[in-house]
Amino acid sequence: MAEGCLRVGQLAPDFTATAVVDQEFKTVKLSDYRGKYVVLFFYPLDFTFVCPTEIIAFSDRYEEFSKIGTEVLGVSVDSEFSHLAWIQTDRKSGGIGDITYPLISDLKKEISTAYNVLDPDAGVALRGLFIIDKEGVIQHSTINNLSFGRSVDETLRTLKAIQYVQTHPDEVCPAGWQEGDKTMIPDPEKSKVYFAAV
């Protein structure tokens, strides 16, 4: 895939890599998660500052993702040994402690490159986040620069909107849609029902 052309609506590039899962090294393949939604997020480095806040936030709310058929996968260019050391370091000492989802090693930077999130000057991944549907298609992507983190709330909101429209193909979700909010029918006449109600 040519650089810079990865976009929503395309199949997510598959990969096979070593991950730390429950403090053990395991081989994971993205295609093994077909049939589930996947939140795939990249972060620059282990043992840094913004990264642990994101990793812990996703871990602490993992149940919410799991309940709606979603796996979370974290990726950085660190080795699996670095991931394990970071997990085995207490949160109060700058570690992340036990986490609830796999942390993937992208030491050769192949995954970061495939997803167009590698910052070649820094040699690390930008804060890319991809929501991949059950068919392996990218439905959402966002990339933050290195110095600011992402929102678990916004990721969950977007994921639920994707799941809603995929199970209600005649409806669309308006701006800021939250679970339980009104949706609209994308038709010049039928959409007036929504606009009249708001």
Segment holding 103, helix H or strand E: strand 103-105
51 as an active site residue: the answer is: yes
Q: Which member of 38, 39, 51, 72 is catalytic?
A: 51
- The residues annotated as belonging to the active site are 51
